[in-house]
Chains A and B, each alone.
Chain A
Amino acid sequence: DTEVTQTPKHLVMGMTNKKSLKCEQHMGHRAMYWYKQKAKKPPELMFVYSYEKLSINESVPSRFSPECPNSSLLNLHLHALQPEDSALYLCASSPTGRGYTFGSGTRLTVV
């Protein structure tokens, strides 16, 4: 299995909702990443997990809460989001800095 699987592919949520994005990989990669990509912009790093521990948080607002319950799974919990949080959320994994595998992303719309 050489893929990173992200679910759901599309999500529409209200500003008072709580939802979660899920990312899964079975390649044995010990580093996992969340990126946020707004329209016509490059992906921007949000979080890095290394060996299931949060190693980088790029000053992301607390309404985004990451979780890494095991070495294969990465979640992003969403609560009280704003319309400007609408974006494509990309998950990636890597064994080292030599290669990255990206999921196909979750397109999030906050209404």
Chain B
Amino acid sequence: AQKVTQAQTEISVVEKEDVTLDCVYETRDTTYYLFWYKQPPSGELVFLIRRNSFDEQNEISGRYSWNFQKSTSSFNFTITASQVVDSAVYFCALSEARRGNTPLVFGKGTRLSVIA
């Protein structure tokens, strides 16, 4: 069975601080995909990144970076120099890649508040 754990329920930082959101996952599959989504107060899920299980390269996109470590089953997300607009709920999610109709399994989410 798949499981995604985001141990941090809420995080509050002051603008311009760096912040890391943790994600730990469980799966029996050797092929899987990991995702991060952002959900602002308006409700839509904004896709941030997808990583497949065979690609452990870290990725950087502007102020966002992701650290994928299979050895610890973690896929952590760092925001550098946080801004008020980063305030949102962030979800880590997992899907098995074997089947075409496999659903996405979400962690409980981390609510990030960036204070000006």
Contact = CB atoms under 8 A, between A and B. Distances in A.
Given A98-B50, A102-B45, A30 B100 contact: yes
Contacts of B28: none
Interface residues of A, number: 29
B64 interface: no
Interface string A15-45: 0000000000000001101000000111101
B104 A98 contact: no
Given A31-B101, A96-B100, A98-B33, A42 B43 contact: no
Top 4 A-B pairs, shortest CB-CB distance: A50-B101, A42-B106, A97-B102, A31-B101
Interface of B: 32-33, 35, 37, 42-45, 47, 50, 52, 91, 95-109, 111
